[in-house]
Each structure stands twice: as structure tokens, then as C-alpha cells.
Structure 1
Amino acid sequence: MSLQRLTALRALMASQPNPLAAYIIPTADAHNSEYISPADARREWISGFTGSAGTAVVTGARALLWTDGRYYTQFANETDPAVWTLMKESLPETLTMEKWLTANLVSGDLVGVDPHTISREEWNNLQTNLIRSKMALIAVEKNLVDEVRIQMNDPPPARSRNEIIPLPIKYTGKAAGEKIQELRAKMAEKKAAALVVTALDEVCYVLNLRGSDIEYNPVFFAYLLVTPTSVVLSCSHTLSDSVLDQLKSERVDITLAPYESITETLTQHAKKVAESERRPIWLSSEASEAIHSAASGMTVLKRPLDLISEVAPVALMKLIKNEVELQGFRACHIRDGIAVIRFFRWLEQNVKESSVSEVQAADKLLEFRKEEADFMGPSFETISGTGPNGAVIHYTASRTGPQHVISPKHMYLLDSGGQYRDGTTDITRTRHMSKASPEQRDAFTRVLQGQMMIGSALFPRGIKGNVLDSFARKALWDVGLDYAHGTGHGVGHFLNVHEGPSGVSWRPYPRDPGLRPAQILSNEPGYYKVGEYGIRHEDLVEIIAVTKDSDHPKAKGLLGDFEGCGVLGFRTLTMVPHQRDCINVELLNDFELNYINNYHKTVLETVGPILKERGLMSDLQWLENECLPLVRA
């Protein structure tokens, strides 16, 4: 099917009023979402590759896909190598997309892209490179993949318009009206006529609303236009009385506009602004080229409005959690820990007594999570991988194909998370179902050493997250091992499990404002032996300020505060033990041995009493055994 679809797309490219030599198909939707709706899964449809990141380029003779090291194995499993070429972004010798285009096309060629699916920043970079080579970038308003799907009687599914729900202030800690007033104060400082909010999680955050239009992400399709006197919500959902009542109680007066008319809404607003003070419009640099063009009035004004295109102020606001949000994160991780602990006790017993498939395991974990208060659903599709499948970093167990049984002879990797009204969880634990080999125990321990090195790190306030990345890799690097993904990502509060603009990775986060207290990040080093097994340990951590009196394993050794910058560290939120039998104690130094024992002691003291109170004695006994202190022989 991939070749048939490419053939139809190439015919459509050639039939354009200005024939295209190349067409770009990003993963992103019109909101630059990481996880997208089936209605926007154009790159997946054309290529067969289901990974959450990647950009396809189709020319008359070639079809290429750029993606990073998380997906190399997955790409090989899902695409036709006779049709598609993998461009490995992680390798220094791989040409970037713009360099490949300028090297393989000829002067005068036109490159097309849907301007709703590419950011202004990406557009400008690509356009500049093409112009230098006497080529041009063309905005194709009607998405050609959508057009091909219609031609082939396989149209895109309808865009979801699921129920929008209010999130009360007891969970959010701040009224929507207060957030809007803070944004208006920032607009006044920028002398901006309006703020355009395009990221779906940012719209939800500002209004204290949640949805379910994209699976696992509690968001709904909408745009928000904030002016000094109005708030315009562009969405095609019906707002319930409970939503309207909460907005009113939180002092938000909403004007509704259709979702599909956002460019017209922004264009008309630009005309009004141009007739008065001609102040600039403020929006995220990650907003699409189409939104930038409409907000400036590009098509209707002789002199378009100036734009302030930078990191979105809402992204920076929601990055720092308030005390209510932090308390929610701490509480939901205890409940989530209970579910995961119960699951692993159940899995250990049932793998020995009967066959359990990867899908059955994921479903059983969901059952346990559903028993916990305020659970709203998984925060992403559970990665349940046994043996070689654990080495596929973003593996998905198929429900329709052959079912892989979790073997007692293999390592098993489980990466999962939950959406709760009071927070979001993301945890990975790797366990061997019987006895790990010496090689596996060594790798397991080195990955754990990296996680502990991050978890115990002290660093200056405001440092960029990428500076910490090497800490997680050192024990692996010492023996020539590594992993092809970042070490940590931000996490939203009952929002997207991956939240920018901060993170910890070997690649810098370009918009990272620097680490501050009250941020939530993941801590997840790994190691993957393709074809055999995968290992990843993931906790969520809260950034805290550290002094000599803090509850931090390195606090007492402090001699300064980075010349007044302030000292930061991490507090681990995740409450699930690591498998004792997979830890090679001889590799641990005294600090690491104490660290893991203290962590297990904290897990037992936090979760154990709740299990006892609920009469879950088998689970309690399992937890007590897993949390026994490790000692050297």
C-alpha cells in the first residue's frame, strides 16, 4: 500500500498549478502536538511508520524519513525498505532535511508543505536554505496527503469533539481568571495587542479545562486569543453548563468562534489592530506558519503587523507548578505506586503459573490503576515488552497480530503512566522473570547508577537541563555502552506527559529557560541490546531548593551556594522498588548502596501502611521482600 499511496501523491504533486519537486510531511498537527489525532496522522498513513516523531520527504523518485535513535528499530520493522529510506538524525554524517533537498534538487525546483503543519521557525530555516540554492518553498493550503486519501476512498477520520470537562481549583490551585490577568500583565510589558495561544495543553492550562480529543492527552482542539478586554476561544465543541459555570466563577468571560475559522478570526483581528495602534501580536515561535501569517494580517494588510515570536508565556507559566499542583503530583504518585506494585506482584505469580501476554499484562495494570482515586486513564500507550521487544524503545504490543508471551527466561520492560485529576505519572521498571544473566545484571546496575547519579545531583539554579545528561551515562560510558534517547522530559499537571520547554538530553533543548524549583522532570536512562533485551529505569522527580538543612543525601556536604545562584536538587516522586535480584551490589559504591536502600525504605514506609490498611497483605509481603536492604557479600 505504501508504494500505491506514494504513486498517487506523486501524481498530485505533478498536477499542482506549480508542480512540486518535493513534498514535506511532518508528524505535527496544526498545534505542533507531539501526540496527534488519527485525523492528523498523515506521515503514518503515507509511510506505515507509527513512531511519534519523524518527517517524511517525497520526491519524484525518492521517499525518505528523518527520525531519531528511539525509532530506528521500529522504522525497520514497519516500513518497506524498497520504498523508504531512513535518515538517522542522531548520526553526525546524516544530512539534515534542508541540506538533503538542496543537494538533491535542482535550481528552480519547488518544495511544498502544508503551512498549518510547520512552525514559522522551521519554515524560515527551510526557506532560507532553499533560496540560497535558487529553489522555493511553497505553502500548499490543502494538505496533499488528505487529498490523496480522499482520492483513494480512504479519507481521514473525522476530528474528535469529545466532552470538555472543568478542572476545579482544588486541583489547579489557581483560577483561570487569575491566569489571564497575569498574561495580560505580561502583554502590557511587551506592549502587545494580543496573545495567540495555539498549543492545546496551553489552552487547557489557562482555562482550567480538560478534554480527550487526542488519546492519552487530556486536551481538546482549540485556539485562544487573549486581548486586553476579551478572550476568544476558537473551538467547535459545545460547552456544558458545568464548564460555563466554572468559567464564570473563575471570572472568565468567553467569546466563542468556530475552530475551522481561526485564520479568518486572526486576520480580521489584525485588520482591527492595524486601524488603531498597530501594536505587535504575541505568539509562540512553535506556532504554525499559517497562524503567524494570519496573525500578522499578511494577506490583507499592505504592511503586516509586527509579531513577537518566542517561547510562549503560557509554557513558562505551567512549567513551574504551584503548591497545590505539587501536592497533587506527590499524592497521585503514591496511588500510582500502589497500582504498579500490585501489578508486578500479580505478574510474578502468574508468569510462573500460566502464560501472560504483553497485552494481557498492560490490561491488568490498567485494571489496578482504575481502582485508584481520581484516575482518568493512561498517560500514554503502555510499553510492555518482553525479551527482544524491550529493546524497541517505543515498542507497542500488537492486539491483532501474534501475541508475545512474557517468558520467565527474559527481561521484561514496562513503561507506563496514568492521568489523574491531581497529576500525571510516568514510570519504567525492568524486571527479569527468573534469573538475569551476569551481563544483564551488569547493564541493569549501570543504568541504575546513572539514574541515581541524576537523582542525587546538585546543580546551580538556572542551569540548562542538557548539562546534567552526561551524569546519567557515565557508568555506561565507562564500559563503552550508551542509549539513543534523552534522559529526562518535563511533565504536565494532568496534561501532556511530555511537556517542554525544559528537559535533560544529549541534545540541548533550544528554548530551555533554565531549571527552577517546582518543575517536574523524568529521570530515565536506559540500555538496549537489539534483538535480546532492553533496560530502562524511570522515575519522575521534583526540582527542589537545597540547603545544608534539606532532606537531600548531599545536603550536609554543601560548602557554598554557587556564589548566590542557589543550589537545586531532585526529590523522587515515583514509589516503586527496583528488582533487588538484578542489582550487582559489587558495582555500587557506598553512597549508591545507601541511596538505593534509603529509596526502598522510603517506598516501603510510604506505600506499606496503605497496603496494610486496605488488606492487601500479599502485595505488602511482596513489597517488603523487594525493599529488604541490599548488602555486600
Structure 2
Amino acid sequence: MVLVVAFHFSSLIFVFHVFVVSAIGDRFADARLVKRSLNIHKDANMSSARLQALRAVMAAQPRPLAAYIVPTADAHNSEYICPTDARREWLSRFTGSAGVAVLTSSRALMWTDGRYYTQFEKEADMEAWNLMKQSLPETPTMEKWLTTNLTEGSIVGADPTTMRREEWTPLQTALSKANMELLAVKDNLVDVARVQLDDAPPPRPANPLIVLPVKYTGKKSGQKIAELREKMQEKKAAALIITALDEVAYTLNLRGSDIEYNPVFFSYLLIRPDSVILFWHQGALEAAVEAHLRDEGVKGVEVKRYGEVFGYLEGLAKELSETGDGKHSIWLSHDASEAIHTAAAGVATLKKPLNLISEISPVALAKQIKNEVELQGFRACHVRDGVAVIRFFRWLHEAVSRGRTVTEIQAADKLLEFRKDEEDFMGPSFETIAGAGANGAIIHYGPSRDGPQTEIRVEDMFLLDSGGQYRDGTTDITRTRHMSSCSAEQRETFTRVLKGQITLGAALFPRGVKGNVLDTLARHALWRRGLDYAHGTGHGVGHFLNVHEGPSGVSWRPYPHDPGLQPAAILSNEPGYYKVGEYGIRHEDLVEVVEVTKDSDHPMAKDLMGDFDGRGVLGFSTLTMVPHQTACVDVKLLDDFELSYLNAYHARVLETVGPVLRSRNLIQDLEWLQEECKPLTRA
């Protein structure tokens, strides 16, 4: 899946013993069949009514607001959000996963990056909205625009639960310097406007929890918590508050389905030296979940209502202030919301608020490095996922070549059918991007079930970006295939994107190097022809968790808290090229970061002369097991190493997936795979 570039306000710069396995698994697997119902109308009058309703609420505040900020965010800094939190989408009709709206009495502006320009112009009312193309150097940042266009004394409002402290503080500073104020508005004003329009947001989901035993996780939650407590002692922290949903799920070895495609549940987790407190739903766990936590060595878990977290943190701050030794504090992630930071510091209750330890979460650092059980799961689920995708492409080519009507939606649904045949499949890891022809050039395109359907035609280039959630891992793969024969231009761009993927996939680099250093490798072949792509090249991937996982990644823009690449991390490798209005190309594999020596099974190992002065050598091992369309490869553009690399990859795919297809008597699929994996030659 296309990398989500880190999007910060400051710069505007991403069972097993399941106790109800059937009900949860089926619901999770079928989630993508129902688009989010947000009552988003294409009618421009409705768009205008929503803007005017919010403006009226802004004007009616005790201190009227000159501007109101509506980010794409929930209270947990989640990349993907549930319908309850889709306020920016409700207001603008723009469905992209990244963007910040700013509303004034006369202007409506949307900052988003290059992945979404085309999509925004298609979805939003362009008479009412101004698109602020964040990737362009001439576009002012949000704070620059606010401080330039508002008058002195203006008050800018925002919901502090939807902004991180790292976003809030720089914006507050910039406004203050311009004699303006950033005001924390307790009630989200979009929600207030929705109620006034008789379109209240849907209830926050609290679906049943899924337990994930150690045979999938490789480490019990009791051990994870013990390790966190050791780090707390080192930091002299009296408590650790975990706010990111995937971090709570990882720590407790629980999963959920509160956000579509992301196996997480709305919660906060507080760890103290002698207690664990989970803030979830109505404050009670089912017996099976309690038994799971006991089996995992998590003793005496106290469960409180989800909404009690702010009051509890304020009370804890007061307790530490009155009874502590002054040397212990509360530890929380820098990605936690401004509201959580304010409560944990006791700003509203203490004359002298606590100093907080606000830095990268120790859980984020722990979960990006997979243990051996998790790695084995990743390798295994990619074989099963490869079977499903190979079956799909064989079916699609046959259907289109025979003149059958296949729409983008039908293609996505058929792929889901094939994935459902695979063991431990729990559902898609994101909404399938199935783009035929010009739709493939919309980087985060999602076919709609409403209105006319786009058919995949024999003359189309077809881009399919999809993934699966399995109990033992998460997949994310993009393959671009022409339904008949590429044009000369398509063949060249297809090959240049592939050259970039091979160059990055075969790279060797020092242990601890930041992913940003590697990004140019994937772009070089395109840059030689003046071509590029407007997204990053690689993102981290969670283990049966979020398909986009930090803190490391590969992008033209640095990941601000990248600790450097280490063995056992999982990343994507996904360069692309997009000709707007015509076609799009992306090649994506997931890769495992591995240590490399002269004796390693790595195509560059034999040429090693050193180990970066003792730092150690790292490389990538490709997990994805689906062939590329060699009919679209211009062999003349490949050097000898690239040709050998591609042929070796296809041989490995056939050697790995072929026996599985044969054992399941999927002979037609096997024959198709054998044809696709034939070695390329220069003849």
C-alpha cells in the first residue's frame, strides 16, 4: 500500500483461541464489502449547508472563533479512523486518508499532499473549497496562512484530542507571535454542527475483543509488560500511558475491529509498577478475555470506562504532586494528543503542572522489531496470500480476454473470495485499490459501489494494491498488469519502476541507517528520464496490526523519529509512476530487514569487502510471492544484474508457491504461474 507521508501540523509536512471466532472473523473479513456510511452527498447544496452550520457554531462560541481546524484524526493519532471521527470527511466529502481542513467565516481550505490532489478535485465542491497543495514549495504552511490572513487578536479553535502535542505547540507558538491565540475547544464543533443538522455522528464502536495466543505472538503480554516496567524504572517513571490503539493491542496480545481494516479497539492502557489499568468501552471484559490475560501473566487488570481516562490522569497527576518525591513522572508518547498531555500534567488541577516524559513510545520501538515467531508468521502468510493473488490474476486475465464484463468492484470482491480460502485469514488490511486505466493514476484510488462502475477493459493497464490480515501476519502487495499489450511508453515506465524496486530490494546498507537515506535508490531510474512519484517508497508493517506502522520508513521526506533500520523489521518496497488521466504503475513487495555477511543468501553478499567498520551490514529479503508481468518488461533497459535478480525472484516464487497449488489441485493456476515465471532472456 502506498506509503503515508508523515503529516504534521507544524510543517504540514503515516484463536488461536478466539472466543467468538466465527462471528468476529466473518465480520472482519467482510468489512470492506460495506463502504463507510457517512451520509456524504455529492450535492453542492449539502456541502454548503455543512460549512454554514459549522461557521454558525464557531460564531456562537463564548469567544467567537476566526478559524477552526479539522484534521483527519481521532484521539489516538490513528492514520485510519472510524466513521465517528470522520469529521473532515463529513465536512468536505474528501475521502482521502490525509488532509487538514481550516474553516474561516469566508474561506474553506484543505491541505493535503500529492497523493490526493486528483482525488480531492473529484470529490470536493471546488467552488467552496481551496486545495492547498502541501507538496509544492509555493504552498504556505497552515500556520503561515493563518498568521498572514487573520487579523491580530484572532482566536483559532481546535479539538485538543485530535492534535498531537508536537502539532499543537508549534502552532500555538506561531499564533502567539502573531498576537493570535490557539484555543482548546472541549466539544468538537463538527459534532455539534452535525447534531444541529440532524445528522449526528454514529456511536463509537466497541466490538468484541479478539485474543491472540503466544503461538502467534511469540511473547506473552505479561513478559511485554515486565519489560516495559524495567524501562519505566530506567526513566524513573511512575506510570506509562499507552495511547496508540495498535500499541495497546500489541501489549495485551488482543485485537479488535473498531476501525475498518485495522484490528484495533478504542482504549487506553496505563501501566504502573504494581497495576495495569485498561480504559475500554463500559469498563468490563468478557470472561474469555480475562482468562486470556491471566494465562498471559497479566495479573490484577483493572478495567475502567473508556472516557474516564482524562479524569484518572488528572487525579494521578495530583497524587504524584502531593505524595511523590518529585523525581518521578508520567511517561507518554510524543504522539499522544494535546488533551492527554494536558491531563497527565495536571494543568487544570495543579498550580505547578508535572513535568512529563514525552518521547517516542517504547512500545512503538518494541513492536517494529519482530520476534522469530512473528517473522515465521509473516513468511507463511505471504505464501498463502500469494496463492490467493495468483489465482485472482489468472481468473482476471481469462475473464477479460474472453470478453466478460469485470468491473473494478467485482475484481476486488473476487480477490476477497480467494483470500477467504486461505487459513487464518481475518480480512483485508486496507480497502483494495483496483484502478483500471486512468483510475490507476489516482494514487489512493478506491472504486465506489455507488453510481456507474468502471469496467476493466482489454486495453487497460490495471493497478491492484491490496492486502490481507492474517492471524500470523499482515500482507500488502501491489502488482500492475496490462490486460493485453503495453504501449512503448508504458513498457518503459513499467520497467523503470521495476528497476527502482530491484535496486532498493538488492541494496546493502549500514545497520542503523535511517530509511530516508535509501529513498533515492528507488527513484534513480525514473529520475534519469525526468519522472518521479508523489509518495514515499516504504512503510513499516504491523504483525496482524496496522498495515502502516512507524517509526521507520523509506521516503523522500525523513521520518522524524526513525531510530534507524534494524534486523527483523518489516517494510514495504513500492516505487511507482502515474500519468494522470491515462494510467498508473506501482510495484510493491514487503521485505524483511536481514543481516548480511559474505556467506548470506543475498545477491550482493559475495561482493562484500567489509562490514561498515563494525556497524554491520543489512539488506532486504522479499516476502511477497507473486510474479511481475514479464510481458511488460523491456529487457533492453535491464542490466545483467537486474535481469538475473528478476529471474531468480520468479524462480523462487514458482518453487515456493507452485507446490502449494499442486497440492490443492489448482492445476490451471499452477500452469499460469509457470508461464509467468519463465526466465526472461535478451534474445
* TM-score (structure 1 length as normaliser): 0.99
Secondary structure class of the residue paired with 1:542? strand
Question: Structure 1: which amino acid aligns with 2:315?
Answer: Q
Q: How does 1:9-48 map to 2 (within 5 A)?
A: 9-48=54-93
| Worse-matched range after superposition: 347-356 or 210-219 | 347-356
Q: CA RMSD in A?
A: 0.7
Does the alignment pair 1:266 with 2:313? yes
* CA-CA distance at 1:89 after TM superposition: 1.1
Question: Structure 1: which amino acid aligns with 2:332?
Answer: L
Q: Which residue of 2 aligns with 1:283?
A: 332
Q: Which residue of 1 aligns with 2:18?
A: none
Q: Which residue of 1 aligns with 2:302?
A: 255
Question: Can you list the C-alpha shifts for 1:129-174, whole angstroms capped at 9, x where unaligned?
Answer: 0010000000000000000000000000111111101100000000
Secondary structure class of the residue paired with 2:565? coil
Secondary structure class of the residue paired with 2:115? helix
Question: Structure 2: which amino acid aligns with 1:161?
Answer: A
Question: Can you list the C-alpha shifts for 1:105-131, whole angstroms capped at 9, x where unaligned?
Answer: 111000000000000111000000001
Task: For 1:457 and 1:106, locate their aligned partners in 2 and report how far apart those are by CA, in whole Å.
Answer: 52
Task: For 1:85 and 1:441, locate their aligned partners in 2 and report how far apart those are by CA, in whole Å.
Answer: 36
Question: Can you list the C-alpha shifts for 1:546-601, whole angstroms capped at 9, x where unaligned?
Answer: 00000100000000001111000000000000001000001000000000000000
Q: Which residue of 1 aligns with 2:564?
A: 514
Does the alignment pair 1:49 with 2:49? no
Q: Which residue of 1 aligns with 2:5?
A: none
Task: For 1:546 and 1:352, locate their aligned partners in 2 and report how far apart those are by CA, in whole Å.
Answer: 44
Task: For 2:288 and 2:55, locate their aligned partners in 1 and report how far apart those are by CA, in whole Å.
Answer: 49
Q: Structure 1: give runs of 5+ residues left out of the alignment.
A: none
Q: How does 1:596-615 map to 2 (within 5 A)?
A: 596-615=646-665
* CA-CA distance at 1:4 after TM superposition: 1.0
Does the alignment pair 1:492 with 2:539? no
Question: Structure 1: which amino acid aligns with 2:167?
Answer: E
Task: For 1:403 and 1:383, locate their aligned partners in 2 and report how far apart those are by CA, in whole Å.
Answer: 14
* CA-CA distance at 1:400 after TM superposition: 1.4
Task: For 1:361 and 1:593, locate their aligned partners in 2 and report how far apart those are by CA, in whole Å.
Answer: 31
Task: For 2:376 and 2:583, locate their aligned partners in 1 and report how far apart those are by CA, in whole Å.
Answer: 36
> Which one of 131, 134, 142 corresponds to residue 86 of structure 1?
131
Q: Structure 2: give runs of 5+ residues left out of the alignment.
A: 1-45
Q: Which residue of 2 aligns with 1:295?
A: 344
Q: Which residue of 1 aligns with 2:190?
A: 145
* CA-CA distance at 1:241 after TM superposition: 2.1
Does the alignment pair 1:220 with 2:265? yes
Secondary structure class of the residue paired with 2:237? coil
Question: Structure 1: which amino acid aligns with 2:334?
Answer: S
Structure 1 residue ranges (4+ consecutive) displaced by more than 3 angstroms after TM superposition: none
Secondary structure class of the residue paired with 1:196? strand
> Which one of 414, 435, 440 corresponds to residue 364 of structure 1?
414
* CA-CA distance at 1:539 after TM superposition: 0.2
Q: How does 1:407-446 map to 2 (within 5 A)?
A: 407-446=457-496
Task: For 2:546 and 2:231, locate their aligned partners in 1 and report how far apart those are by CA, in whole Å.
Answer: 24
Secondary structure class of the residue paired with 2:339? helix
* TM-score (structure 2 length as normaliser): 0.92
Task: For 1:58 and 1:68, locate their aligned partners in 2 and report how far apart those are by CA, in whole Å.
Answer: 19
Q: Which residue of 1 aligns with 2:47?
A: 2
Question: Structure 2: which amino acid aligns with 1:475?
Answer: A
Q: Which residue of 1 aligns with 2:583?
A: 533
Task: For 1:209 and 1:525, locate their aligned partners in 2 and report how far apart those are by CA, in whole Å.
Answer: 33
Task: For 1:391 and 1:142, locate their aligned partners in 2 and report how far apart those are by CA, in whole Å.
Answer: 39
Q: How does 1:75-474 map to 2 (within 5 A)?
A: 75-236=120-281, 238-253=284-299, 254-277=301-324, 278=326, 279-353=328-402, 354-474=404-524
Question: Structure 2: which amino acid aligns with 1:69?
Answer: G
* CA-CA distance at 1:371 after TM superposition: 0.4
* CA-CA distance at 1:456 after TM superposition: 0.1
Task: For 1:305 and 1:226, locate their aligned partners in 2 and report how far apart those are by CA, in whole Å.
Answer: 18
Task: For 1:93 and 1:222, locate their aligned partners in 2 and report how far apart those are by CA, in whole Å.
Answer: 40
Task: For 1:46 and 1:398, locate their aligned partners in 2 and report how far apart those are by CA, in whole Å.
Answer: 19
Which protein has greater RCO, CA pairs closer than 8 Å, 6+ apart? Answer: 2
* CA-CA distance at 1:270 after TM superposition: 1.2
Task: For 1:182 and 1:410, locate their aligned partners in 2 and report how far apart those are by CA, in whole Å.
Answer: 53
* CA-CA distance at 1:244 after TM superposition: 1.0
* CA-CA distance at 1:271 after TM superposition: 1.4
| Worse-matched range after superposition: 296-305 or 530-539 | 296-305
Task: For 2:616 and 2:624, locate their aligned partners in 1 and report how far apart those are by CA, in whole Å.
Answer: 25
* CA-CA distance at 1:239 after TM superposition: 2.2
Aligned residues: 633
Task: For 1:338 and 1:32, locate their aligned partners in 2 and report how far apart those are by CA, in whole Å.
Answer: 34
Task: For 1:483 and 1:73, locate their aligned partners in 2 and report how far apart those are by CA, in whole Å.
Answer: 14
